[in-house]
Amino acid sequence: MLSNHNTEFINQLYKNTIFMLYKAKRMINSKGTGRGFIEEVVITNY
């Protein structure tokens, strides 16, 4: 099991696995307006 930011590269790299998408809150950003929710993916092979 692993998690990562949901990108096209990650989708292609792990295309033969099981994906679960969720929104994750990120408070670290050089600009305060850039903080908030991002789409993460949990990837499993079971």
Q: Report pLDDT digits (tens) over 1-46.
A: 999 999 999 999 999 999 999 998 878 778 878 788 889 999 998 8
What is the pLDDT, as a whole number, of residue 29?
Answer: 77
Tell me what pLDDT residue 43 has. Answer: 96
What does the pLDDT read at residue 38? 87
**pLDDT at 11 (0 to 100):** 94
Which residues, including other chains, have CB under 8 Å from residue 26's CB and lie 6 or more apart?
35, 36, 37, 38
Domain boundaries, the chain: 2-44
